[in-house]
Structure formats: C-alpha cells, structure tokens
Amino acid sequence: MRGLAVGSSVTETVVNRSRFVCSLFRVGSEAEARERIAAHRREFWEATHHCTAYVFDGGRIARSNDDGEPAGTAGLPMLEVLRGRDLTDTLAVVTRYFGGVKLGAGGLVRAYGGAVSAAVDAAGVVELAVWPRLLVRVDYGVAGSLEGLLRLREDVRLAHVSFTDVVTFDLACADAELLAAWVAGQSAGAAEIEPAGSVRVEL
C-alpha cells in the first residue's frame, strides 16, 4: 500500500491543444475528497471538465466521475492509474481546457490516464503500513531516557508526548508485543501500556 509523498501536487499535460491539469491531493476521507472537488470546481469554474477519481482504505473504497466526458473515458482510466500504483487516501482531479480538437474515446482514455500517471510520477509515493497504536505511561524518572531511546527505534513512530501526573507517549510500532516487552525492560516493569487501535504510518 502506498500514498502520495506530498500533500498536494499539480501537473499539466497538453494533448492536441487541450490542456489537462491534474491536481493530486492526499485526503483522509470521502467527505474531505468531496469538499476538495467542490472547492476545485468553484475555483476553476471556467474549465470544460473536472473529472475525478479517488481511493481509500487500501483501495477498497474507490469512486470516479467523467463529468460530461463520454462514459468510461475519463474517471475510470484515472482510477485505474491510482489502483495500478497501489495508492490509498488519494484524490485526483483532472481539469480539462478544451483546445478545439476532438480526441475520440481512445484519445481521451490515454489523455486522462496519462495526466494522472504523470502527476503521480512528479509527486512521488511513499510506502504505507498499518501499525498498532499504543499509549505508554511512565514516571518522570524514566521518561527522559525512554523518550530518547524510542526516538532512535526505526520500528516506532512517536506522535505525541503529554505531561500530567505521569508522562504518556502516544506512539505506533511495528510489533506491539515486542515493544511492550522492551518497554517493560527499560522501565523495570513500571510502565503502563494501553492499546489504542491502529494508525497508518509512512515507512
């Protein structure tokens, strides 16, 4: 599973005088994708078409829209690029400015798919994984050294540290059981470890 290496990216291609401007967005939900699409339409209202495709949940949720282009010639080839690159949490909007030359069904498929492919190449991708999330609570006496060691581990992503009567590390790790045993050793068994679901991390 992979995701965009950037939060957003814009790439333009030209085919027979028509401009295809592909905007890629890293998005966290279908609702956010729909909001992005609506905002994009308002901003670039003068364009001929705004064709869209997005994928979520490791590709299990996928939607596309041809926005007035012949059925299957725009949104679907865009979506196939996102699926083919194994992307998730990604929205592609291809804005077309008609150049006066009709491209035909095959030409449209190649143009829209090519626009997304070029945009993904330009943006770059990162590998993603779903890791267990843990809340690790320790006394102040061991918190400083433990934080330093946690930040050195490649199998841990430390998201947040909070300070109350104890210190709480909000983190994700590749192997919860392995990390729990390691934390127990570092804290002489005094750490409290609470599972807190899972999170997606960049590898």
- Ordered domains of the chain (ranges, CATH): 2-123 (3.30.230.30), 127-202 (3.30.70.240)
Question: Alpha-carbon dihedral of residues 202, 123, 81, 50, nearest 10 degrees?
Answer: 120
pLDDT at 58 over 90: no
Please count the CA atoms within 13 angstroms of the CA of 142 that sit on its side-chain side. Answer: 18
**pTM (2 d.p.):** 0.85
pLDDT number for residue 149:
97
Confidence of residue 127 (pLDDT cuts 50, 70, 90): very high
The percentage of the chain sitting over the pLDDT mark of 90, rounded to a whole number, equals 97
The percentage of the chain sitting over the pLDDT mark of 70, rounded to a whole number, equals 100
pLDDT in tens, 114-125: 999 999 999 999
pLDDT number for residue 203:
92
pLDDT at 57 over 90: no
Average pLDDT rounded to a whole number, residues 30-40: 96
**Token code pair at residue 200:** 């997606």
pLDDT number for residue 85:
96
pLDDT at 72 over 90: yes
What is the DSSP track for 126-151? EEEEEEEEEEEEE-HHHHHHHHHHHH
pLDDT at 59 over 90: no
For 170, residues 6+ apart whose C-beta sits below 8 A from its C-beta are 133, 134, 135, 158, 159, 160, 161, 162, 196
* 81 burial via Cβ count (<10 Å: 0-12, 13-18, 19+): buried
How far is it, in rounded angstroms, from Cα 94 to Cα 116? 7
How far is it, in rounded angstroms, from Cα 99 to Cα 83? 29
